[in-house]
Structure 1
Amino acid sequence: MKKSIYRLIKFSILPLLFICYAIYITGKNTGDFYKRFSSPQQNSLILGSSRAASMNPEIIDQIIHSKYPNAKLYNYAFTWAHSPYGPKYLESIEKKIKPDTKDGVFIVTVEPTALMVDKNKPDDPQYYTENDKSVAKTSMVATNPNLEYLLESYDFSITNEFNKKIRPEKNPMIEVSVLDNGQVHGKVIKRFSTEKRKEVNAEKMAELKNRINELKISPTRLEYLSKTIDFLKQHGKVMVVRMPVSKVPYDIENSAVADFDKIILDITESKKVPYINYNNYPNNYQWVDEVHLEPEFMDKFSAVIAKDLVH
C-alpha cells in the first residue's frame, strides 16, 4: 500500500507542476483577458469597449499625478460585446474597485453600440449579448490564479501559451498581450498592403453598418450607465468620453442614433460630470481599422485625455 501511494504521488507531482507552470505562463503572456481577472483590485479604471482597451494608463498617470497623486489607472475596457453598459459590467466594476477608494480617476468611454440592444428582442437584461461572456460569467475578478475564469471562459487549452513558446506562430501580423496595467498592447509585425487594408476596412465598415442596423438604443443600458457613474462618483473623479473614430464609422453611428450626444449630455449634466466627444475636435489620428487607434496615436490620445483631466 505504501509503495502504491508513493508511486501515485511520484507520478502526480510532475503533471501538477506542469499545469501550475502553464497557468503561470498564461498569467504572464496571454493576449486573452485572463490577466484582467487575476490582477488585484484597483483604485482607478478605464472603462468601455475595445476602442478604449489599448488606452495607455502609464501615460495618463504621469500627466495627472500632480493633481491626482494617489490615482493609478487600470484598463478595464473589454469589447462592445463583453462590456456594454448593463448590470453585468457594473457588477464586475464594483468588484474590481478597492472599496475604500475616495480619490480615484475613472474614464468612462461611450459609443452607440455600447448602449444598444437587439431591436428584435425586449430591452431586458436577460436577453443581453454579454450574458454568456467572461465579464458576466466571472464572479471573482481579483483572484490569482483565477481557476474560475480558466475553467469557464478561457477559450484555449491550458497549455496554449506554453505551446506557443515551443512552436511560435508562423508569420504573425500582430502580437497582442495584456500588460500589468490592463492595457491591451499590440505590436504590429507585418501590415497589409494599402489596397488590401482598404478592402479589409470596407468589409469591417459594412459589418458595423449591418450590426448597428439590427440594434436600437436601450433605455435600460442608459439607466445602467447612469448607475455606473453614480457608483464611480463615490470613489473619485469621473470623466465620460466618446473616442475619436474616422469619418465613415462616425457617420454610420450618427445615422443610427442621431441624438446620441444629446442623450449622453442629458445624463452627464444631471450627474455633474464632464462629457467630451473628441470627434468634435480636429485631429491627425490614424486608425488600424477606422475605429481602433494605431498604437502611436493611442498614446497621443491618452495624453490628450490626461491633460483634459487636470484642466
Structure 2
Amino acid sequence: MLKYIGKRLLIMIPIILGITLIVFAILNYTPGDPAKLLLGFNATEESLEAVRAEWRLDDPFLVRYVRYLGDILHGDFGTSWRYGTAVTQELSTRVPNTLKLAAMSVLVMLILGIPMGIISAVKQYSILDNLMLFIALLLTSIPTFWLALMMMLKFSLELGWLPASMPATGVVTWKHWVLPVFMCAANLTASLVRTTRSNMLEVIRSDCIRTARAKGATEFRVIAYHALRNALMPVVTLVGINFNVLMGGAVITEQVFSVSGVGNLLITSVRTKDAPMAMGCIIFIATTIGLVNLAVDVLYVYINPRLKSQYVKMKKRREAKAA
C-alpha cells in the first residue's frame, strides 16, 4: 500500500506542473496590464514602467515561468502584487477558513444525506420516500445565491438569530458558520441522498442481502452492516468530489457571507491579474484535490473486502515472481 501511495504522489508532480504551466500562460496572455490594474489607469508611464521592472513583466514568458518554478522549489511562492505580502502568509490566513467550511459542510452532508438516503431506500414508494425525494429535488433546484439571500433575510434581518456575514476583524463564533455551512451542504446533501438511495436499492435486491436475511440476521444488521457497506463505494467517491468542489468552488458562499477563503481570494486575484497569488491558490487547490482523490482510493480498499483481497493477491504474485 505504501508503494502505491508513493507512486500516486509521484504522478501528482507532473500533473501539478502541467496545471501551473496552463494557468501561468492564461494569466500571461489574457488582456490587461497588472501594473495599470494596481496603480490605476491615470498612472504615469514612468511609474508603470517602474512597477513592470520590479515585477519583471518585460521578461519572456518562459524565462518568468522557469524562474517561478525555481522559486517554488526553494519554498518561495512569491509576493502578492495586490496585497504586498508573501503568498504563503496570505494563504495561511485563508486556508483554515476554507478547510473549516469544507469539513463542516461535508460533515453536515454525511449526517443528513446518508440516513435520508437509507430511509428512502428501505421505505421505497412510501410517504417517507416521497418526502425525502421531494426535499432532495427542491434543494437541487433552488439556485445557490437565491437560497443564501433568503436565509440572510429570514434568519439575520427578520429574526436576528444569526449574523449575516463574517466580521473582517474580531471574534468569529459558531453562529457565523451556520448559514455558510448550511448553504454549502444543502445542494451537496441532495446529491448524496439520491446517490445513497439508488445504490442501497441495488444492493438490497442482491443475493448477499437475501443470504444474510436467510441466516437470521436482524434487519438493522442487514441494512447497517451488509447493505450500507456494499453501497458505500459511490458514496465515498461523491464525498471526495464534493470536498474538492468546496475547496476551490464555494465562491458564491464565500462572497455572499464574506468568508475570507481561498475561493474568494482566487477570484479576486484573477480579476486583478495578481499572478503570484492566483498561482499560489491554484497550486494549493490542485494539491488538495490530488491528496483527497488518493485518500478516496485508499478508502476503497478498506471499505470493499474484494478490492483488499485482490490487492493482497497481486502483492503475493509480485513477491512470487521476485523470488
Fold-level similarity (TM above 0.5): no
TM-score class, shorter-chain normalisation, is under 0.3
- Greater Cα radius of gyration, structure 1 or 2: 2
Give 1 or 2: higher strand fraction: 1
